[in-house]
Chains A and B, each alone.
Chain A
Amino acid sequence: MERRGRILAVLLVMVLGYAAVALRLVYLQVYQRAELTDRAERQQERLVRLDAKRGTIYDRIGRELAVSLDVDSVYGIPSRIRNPRETAQRLSRILHENARVLERKLDGDRHFVWLSRKVDPGQARKIKELDSNVIGLQAEPRRFYPKKTLAGPVLGFTGMDNAGLEGLERVYDKHLRGASGWVVAEKDALGRTVFPGGPGFQYRLPKAGHDLILTIDEVIQHIAEKEIDAMLVRSRARGGYGIVMDPRTGEVLALAVRTIGRTTQPFNPNDPQRSRPDEWRNRCVTDAFEPGSIFKPFLAAAAIEEKKVHPLERFDCSAGKIQVADRTIKDAHENGVLTFTDVMAQSSNVGTIKVALRLGRELFSKYIAAFGFGSKTGVDLPGEIPGLVKDHRLWSGVSIASIAIGQEIGVTPLQVASAYCALANGGVLMKPYIVSEIVDRGGRESRKFQPQVVGRAISEDTCEKVSKMLQRVVEAGTGDKARPAGYTAAGKTGTAQKIDQRTGSYSKKDYVSSFVGFVPANSPRLVILVMVDSPEGVVYGGSVAAPVFKTIAEQSLAYLQVTPDDVGGRMLLVTR
């Protein structure tokens, strides 16, 4: 009986034990199922992010200007580090970073901290050699600009998170960025990643960013930048800007922006932290300048179109000055009686103002707008401004004279280059553009940009007359140093006084010297603008900017294999 009682007691204990286990099982499997499944998944599964490749930026014939590459970033797991000071000192020697800053990052109980982002391959190798389980490497895409400073302010740059911050990288960020993907991978007991595959395998493939093909030509861009740099050294100027455009289409072939900052080194998008914002700002679209005499051809075009003047009509400029309202405007050099063509060639303010007064403010302002001044060109670059053009009803008595000689008006270098394209192509204002194609690697969403006509500014006949006048500027006028060897050229010099910020009046020593024109004059292939900000010594556009125009034109036309049209007796005629 006693034995039976003991057996029953043991049985009861066992039943109760099993019941407890069963109840616990039910509790875990039924009541806590969702939470525990979730926790298990968190422990066993790992969401692996698949970064999308940022699109490549190419020049017009497919040469790479901006490319992305995966590089290593260094991270640490502070919660597992026993001696943060020693680890920080060891890492400091490899990463060349402040040991105290690293120690501060490693001190604490966080599970993850970035120690250095996007390090060099050599540094990554040394970190790998440490074979540490508390310091690791994670691949991240980094943007490279293989041509270094070439077209830096045009291309812009990206930030640490790979988003476009400036230039084309910013404007086209949506297209270049693509979409990230992910895959749910499993972790084994040692924490190694296993891709399970099979049914239920969850993933989303990353979508690569689109590529950009620019209208920029790498070689012409290099020519423009090299010549502007050489000029900056010669003239000790504060900045220089060069634009090369195809007048038939409005394509921007080169856009050189050089600003002298803390160093004489041009802006390098591979290392944007070393430069200040004003060094990477694209002043060809973000800043307005008083154009000076390069604006005179637009008055000439308007007056000829309205039949107010003939290119051969004579003007007496012998007084050397003219009174308009309360202001006396003088010529830079003494002139006698000049034809209107020579008024342009000698850049006479007096002759120009006489024609402007004859044209009248309403008609003049109509043509200023027709050439695109006062409104944005619509180019695909960030920060473009429309310039500063006053409504003609607000002009003072002297405004018409000032504007005719390129004062009291603010224009961007790109606006001027675009307007000269209209003078070169028969009178049609084209919209300037810099991206010719967005290419989808999948080939589905590719987009091509075609030349866009903004409107007709003047007739072809007027254009031809103005073109002849501008040829005269280069052949026998102030722009004789702009004449490229072997080619005819047409253009205009400009020397504009800058406003002195302290006094609010025109400065006696700071000028903007410029030359804008097109080559070959009879069948223009290129419009070239050169603008020099505050040169020292000789300041005239004909001496500072015109020689730069000449060298850019000669090299670019030779590169484009444009047949010389002004070779004198040294042309051989051969029959094939």
Chain B
Amino acid sequence: MTSRVGDIGSLVFERGRRGSVRRALVILLIVASLILYVAGKVSIVQLGYRIEALEREKKELERANRSLRIEASSLSAPARIEEIATKRMGMVRPPKENVVTVKRKAASAE
């Protein structure tokens, strides 16, 4: 009798334990899904911050590159080159007497 009662008790107990385990598992699953979902969202936001930072860096680099190109273009202005050549380096335009034109003989005449 005792054993039967004990059997029934353990059965009830087992049933109850299985139910709470299942319940715990379900809760765990829900919590895990929520954590995963939130983690995903956080990761997207963090990636967004990174993208923004990289975008900013890219923009700065592009701006620096363009600024250097403008500087190079400005430094290669013919007026500046001519001034350096004539004033700093003492270069002069060759007078007519010093120019000898070398004319290539036409192909047909060869």
Contacts and interface: CB of A to CB of B under 8 A. Distances in A.
Q: Do A and B bind each other?
A: yes
Interface of A: 63-64, 67, 69-70, 121, 139, 144, 146-148, 150, 186, 188, 192-198, 218-219, 222-223, 226, 485-486, 555, 563-564, 567, 570-576
Contacts of B71: 146
Contacts of A576: 104-105
Given A188-B45, A195-B52, A197-B48, A147 B103 contact: no
Given A146-B74, A192-B52, 8 more contacts: A69-B63, A146-B77, A147-B78, A148-B74, A195-B51, A197-B51, A570-B99, A572-B101
B92 interface: no
Contacts of B66: 67, 69-70
B73 interface: yes
Contacts of A226: 79, 82
B52 A194 contact: yes
B91 to A, nearest CB: 14
Contacts of A121: 67
B70 A570 contact: no
Interface of B: 44-45, 47-49, 51-52, 55, 59, 63, 66-67, 69-71, 73-74, 76-79, 82, 93, 96, 99-105, 110
A76 to B, nearest CB: 22
6 contacts: A146-B70, A193-B52, A194-B52, A197-B47, A575-B105, A576-B104
A555 B93 CA distance: 9
A567 B101 contact: yes
A139 B101 CA distance: 55
Contact of A485 (B96, B102, B103): B96
A564 B101 contact: yes
Contact of B103 (A69, A188, A571): A571
A267 to B, nearest CB: 15
Nearest to B66: A69
Contacts of B110: 575
Given A192-B49, A195-B48, A574 B77 contact: no
A69 B67 contact: yes
B79 A70 contact: no
B85 to A, nearest CB: 13
A150 B79 contact: yes
A514 B110 CA distance: 45
A325 to B, nearest CB: 49
A555 B82 CA distance: 12
Given A146-B73, A572-B102, A198 B44 contact: yes
B70 A67 contact: yes
Contact of A70 (B63, B69, B82, B100): B63
B55 to A, nearest CB: 8
A442 B30 CA distance: 50
Contacts of B55: 195
A97 to B, nearest CB: 24
Contact of A574 (B47, B69, B99, B103): B103
A273 B87 CA distance: 31
A86 B47 CA distance: 40
A486 B101 contact: yes
Nearest to A64: B73
Contacts of B101: 486, 563-564, 567, 570-572
A576 B52 CA distance: 63
B78 A222 contact: yes
A475 B25 CA distance: 108
Nearest to B62: A70
A280 to B, nearest CB: 19
A550 to B, nearest CB: 11
A197 B101 CA distance: 67
A197 B104 CA distance: 66
Nearest to A576: B104
A194 B48 contact: yes
Contacts of A571: 100-103
Contacts of A193: 52
A139 B59 contact: yes
Contacts of A486: 96, 99, 101
A576 B110 CA distance: 9
Contacts of B104: 574, 576
Contact of B44 (A147, A196, A485): A196
A570 B100 contact: yes
Contact of B100 (A146, A147, A572): A572
A187 to B, nearest CB: 11
Contacts of A563: 101, 103
Given A139-B59, A222-B78, A567-B101, A67 B49 contact: no
B99 to A, nearest CB: 7
Contact of B105 (A146, A148, A564, A573): A573
Contact of B74 (A147, A192, A564, A574): A147
* Residue of B45, B55, B76, B101 with most partner-chain A CB within 10 A: B101
A231 B47 CA distance: 64
A121 B67 CA distance: 11
A573 B109 CA distance: 12
A148 B77 contact: yes
A68 B38 CA distance: 43
B48 A147 contact: no
Nearest to A225: B79
A403 to B, nearest CB: 39
B48 A196 contact: yes
Nearest to A220: B78
Nearest to A564: B101
A22 B107 CA distance: 100
Given A146-B73, A219-B78, A573 B45 contact: no
Contacts of B63: 69-70, 139
A573 B103 contact: yes
